[in-house]
Amino acid sequence: MDENRGSRIAINLTGKIALVTGSSSGLGAAIAKYMARAGAKVAVHYRSGKDRADAIVDEIKNDGGFAMAFYGDVSKKEDVQKLFSEIDSKLGTVDILVNNAGIDGKRELVGEDDPDDWEKVIEVNLMGPYYCAREAVKRMKPKKSGVIINITSVHEYVPWSGYTAYSSAKAGLSMFTKALAQELSDYNIRVVAIAPGAIKTPINKDVWGNPESLKDLLNKIAMPRLGEVDDIGQAAVFLASDLASYITGTTLLVDGGMALYPDFKHGG
């Protein structure tokens, strides 16, 4: 007889310490809140907007959770080392790392672009997760446990004209997820990715807030709605939990079917 039959299933991250980079707003803030609701102590990370980070910390505390704000520029190796050291001393070693911090960059066509802009996107979106994962791995290996979640994008699959740096960085982060998962498989450390599609956040309000551009965007999604930040927060807390203990080295698309070529819904 299955002794677990009929028992309730719940996500419980009590005793875990979670670092969510870029969590002072948007997707990162939602992920941080869900981690806290599941019982994790959360390091709310910011590079700018300390007031916003403090507000997220207060919101988590008012909801019965525990959080602290930490500063750092993830594109700078020294900043990341300092960030992890401060978390070590104030919270303890990181058990869950969510590499969420990222930038779209400017829309520029190759040959008409500024290489410095391309390089900046790569530094933040690819080197940043690498620097953070490197510090996390050094702490997770001795414990032989841990979860690293990389936030990629539907554009790890779908090309995006004018955003070659962003698309390339997210595709690179996807392969980094796979290769790192392979490296760490003997240490009970899982590495997974979440690829959001069109998620409604303040940063893209100029798109979803305009009826014409919203209609165009919805035509690119199989499901008849935009994603919400909660969709990503829920996916992240699931992947961080023991419910996902046999999932590693793969990307979970949370895109409402954007990668399904929705133009083909009604035939070729």
Catalytic residue set: 166
Count the Cβ atoms, other than its own, within 10 Å of residue 142: 9
Residue closest to 96 by CA, chosen among 18, 174, 213: 18
The string over 103-133, giving b where at least 16 C-beta atoms fall within 10 Å of a residue's C-beta and e elsewhere, is bebeebeeeebeeeebebbbbbbbbbbbbbb
Contact 34, 234 (CB under 8 A): yes
End-to-end CA separation in angstroms for the chain: 50
